[in-house]
Amino acid sequence: MPDTGKLYPTTADTQKSPDSTTHPAEAGNAGELHQTNPDAPVMTTAQGVPVSDDQNTLRGGERGPALMEDFHFREKIFHFDHERIPERVVHARGYGAHGYFECTEAIPELTRAGLFQEAGKKTPAFVRFSTVAGNKGSFDVARDVRGFAVKLYTEEGNWDLVGNNIPVFFIQDPIKFPDLVHSVKAAPDRGFPQAQSAHDNFWDFISLMPESMHMIMWTMSDRAIPRSFRFMEGFGVHTFRFVNERGESHFVKFHWKPKLGLQSVVWDEAVKINGADPDFHRRDLWDAIRAGDFPEWELGIQVFDDEFADKFDFDVLDATKLIPEEECPIRVVGRLVLDRTVDNFFAETEQVAFCTQNIVPGIDFTNDPLLQGRNFSYLDTQTKRLGGPNFTHIPINAPKCPFHHFQQDGHMAMHNPTGRANYEPNSWSQGGPRPDPEKGLRSYGEELEGTKRRLRPESFADHYSQARQFYLSQTPIEQDHIANGLTFELSKCVVEDIRLRVLGHLRVIDEDLASKVADGLGHDLPEPAKPAREPVDLKTSDKLSILKNGPDSFKGRKLGILVTDGMDKTVYDALVKAVEAEGGMVEVVAPKVGGVTTSSGEKLKANQKIDGGPSVLYDAVALVVSEEGAKQLAEMLPGKQFVADAFGHGKFIASTPEAAPLFDASGVNETDDGMMTLKAASDAPAFIKVCRAVRFWDRMA
């Protein structure tokens, strides 16, 4: 098929109208009404017929009946009626962005994949982050795994690395995936709960599936409530293969490491953020890219051979296990940069179809059973969701390299083969594409043997050792958060037996953890679960902790400055300067969204009215207020909550001396090293330096 690989025109190409993402008023212009703008394109029907009136249907007589012949009306309503497609069966809520992958270290000795052949080589990429359990319209900061799906448009086809922000998975065999997902999603009889795992069905299933224990430690940790997509890791999870030009293979695990470091919110914040801004994560990504602060991850690889795999305590084909970085170091070979928001959410983020089967020459699968099962599921689900086999014709899914094949017809076919030959082999002289044994993808020639049977290998039998290793690798604060997470979730289970069964597993993982949770629930400890294989004590790994791998600057983070009339603008200006110098962002919160008048009579615009800008939306806060303003805020519930929550969540707080009445009214009667008085503008840089740490944890201990 003579396709040049040129994408079919995107919505943006065909429907391009003057940029309407930014309102003219935002850009400082008064803003002309669309109707009076002579440059605006003429509205047409889908057939391209110019439209004269989009306000009134065609009627017979002034107050008479609507006429059937009004095809503009019928076409408009017909199309609207068909706007929805099924949401993804899991990972329904997601957010995507464009960018590129850049190879920083060539690795031809490991793989023949084109994107890794030359340092500096850039490959276009599209990434979609997601939650798993919630519906499309649920909230962003649910306690959940985050999807981290990367589509790399290489010169030899698309490679989809469909990973998560957690390096292991709940189950070992894909035949259990529907059960896992049914258990976590809304119960079939009542249709709730939404976007959470804190309910009987989920914990019932988990308590009967000990292989999930390692993953449960991760999902009950703060990994499941990331501060933003920009502050989380991504993992390919499975062991894959690299295959080089000579056909030699190495095992490989893929890691995405955020340049900003790791940061999560605390649970009470998550609950409040979901109310204050259900779009917290997607807004964060959009804002960062729009501000030119492009999120970036390093691609790290763990490469090992059969000998390492054989010596390793666990099976490298078991997706419930990881290989600690200390045992197999990570080598950084590239970086992923997201530098462009989508033009259209539906066309790109919603229609993007990731398939684990999409690999390119130089990358190959292993016998990880979960991966093999996924290779069926994704292709199958995209066909249903996007309506037919031609979803690869949608621009976001089409390769950006030339492609030639004899696949044809089907719903919405956009590029069929031209000419007479549409089969292979054929004897027409220009009879279309031919396979190429040299350039083509050749599966690694692994030798296979064995008896056909359904079984779980003995090498997959240890379900607790890495769960314990994960728990013991955390700082005490993080361990508390895991215990609290478990206690909260289990407290939402109505059936006591389910709680006790989980406690039985926790006893095998760590007795202290089990005791903390049992105490939190008000239960006596039950008998420990009986493991299929006794766990062993493994060396702890610092890389498993968030706090040990946190940010080292205020870059990419946000200071919320609460201001009132009569505030000192010089202090405010100094804070903004200090934040910007670190690469952070500032948002102004005021009693009214119109802003405030400073002590020198200037007008300062606000980004948020206090009710809509609670302190949970910020990494640190500053109160730059007048005495009168502080007194007014002290009378307002959102004002008091702003301060009380910032304090309760261990945030760094700076304040001008006039803020005292607000602290009193908020019940914050103590000071600590996480609080700082801004006596003068010159104090601002020191405060932002303090904010480099994530929180003042001592206050929360």
CB of 556 to ligand HDD, least distance (A): 23
User: Whose Cβ is closer to ligand HDD: residue 177's or residue 256's?
Assistant: 177
Residue type present at position 309: A
Q: What are phi and psi of 290, to 5 degrees?
A: -65, -30
Element (H, E) at 519: helix 511-521
User: Whose Cβ is closer to ligand HDD: residue 378's or residue 687's?
Assistant: 378
Name the 3-class secondary structure at 74: helix
User: Whose Cβ is closer to ligand HDD: residue 149's or residue 498's?
Assistant: 149
Strands 240-243 and 157-164: unpaired
To the question of whether residue 420 is assigned a binding role by annotation, the answer is no
Instruction: Based on the residue annotation, tell me whether 164 is a catalytic residue of this protein.
Output: yes
To the question of whether residue 444 is assigned a binding role by annotation, the answer is no
Residue 390: CA count within 13 A, CB half-sphere: 12
CB of 361 to ligand HDD, least distance (A): 23
Spot the catalytic one: 72, 158, 164, 463: 164
User: Whose Cβ is closer to ligand HDD: residue 397's or residue 465's?
Assistant: 397
CB of 164 to ligand HDD, least distance (A): 4
Q: Comparing C-alpha atoms, which of 412, 688, 692 is closest to residue 574? A: 688
Distance CA 536, CA 670 (A): 45
Contacts for 645 with CB less than 8 Å, ≥ 6 apart: 268, 269, 272, 614, 615, 616
* CA angle (310 as vertex; 304, 312 as ends), nearest 5: 75
Distance CA 126, CA 152 (A): 7
Task: State the first-to-last Cα distance of the chain, in angstroms, to the nearest integer.
Answer: 65
Instruction: Based on the residue annotation, tell me whether 344 is a catalytic residue of this protein.
Output: no
Write down the residue that tokens 């001396």 correspond to: 657
Spot the catalytic one: 72, 91, 214, 649: 91
Instruction: Point out which residues bind ligand HDD (CB under 6 A).
Output: 88-91, 94, 128, 130, 147, 149, 162-164, 169, 174, 177, 237-238, 319, 354, 370, 373-374, 377-378, 381-382
To the question of whether residue 385 is assigned a binding role by annotation, the answer is yes
Instruction: Pick left, alpha or beta for residue 106 (phi over 0 → left; psi -120 to 50 → alpha; otherwise beta).
Output: beta
Contact 563, 655 (CB under 8 A): no
Strands 675-677 and 653-655: parallel
To the question of whether residue 533 is assigned a binding role by annotation, the answer is no
CB of 238 to ligand HDD, least distance (A): 6
CB of 340 to ligand HDD, least distance (A): 17
User: Whose Cβ is closer to ligand HDD: residue 213's or residue 659's?
Assistant: 213
Residue type present at position 404: H
Per-residue DSSP letter, 6: P
Residue nearest to ligand HDD (CB): 147
To the question of whether residue 378 is assigned a binding role by annotation, the answer is yes
CB of 441 to ligand HDD, least distance (A): 22
Name the 3-class secondary structure at 501: helix
Distance CA 363, CA 383 (A): 24
CB of 91 to ligand HDD, least distance (A): 3
Buried b (16+ CB within 10 A) or exposed e, 231-256: bbbbbbbbbbbbbbeeeebbbbbbbb
CB of 90 to ligand HDD, least distance (A): 5
CB atoms within 10 A of CB 552: 9
List, in sequence order, every residue forming a beta bridge with 340; answer none if it has no partner: 98
User: Whose Cβ is closer to ligand HDD: residue 240's or residue 242's?
Assistant: 240
CB atoms within 10 A of CB 613: 23
To the question of whether residue 464 is assigned a binding role by annotation, the answer is no
User: Whose Cβ is closer to ligand HDD: residue 224's or residue 633's?
Assistant: 224
**What is the token pair recorded at 216?**
């449960």
User: Whose Cβ is closer to ligand HDD: residue 176's or residue 227's?
Assistant: 176
Contact 73, 58 (CB under 8 A): yes
Q: Which are the catalytic amino acids?
A: 91, 164
Q: Which residues are annotated as a binding site for heme?
A: 88, 128, 177, 374, 378, 385
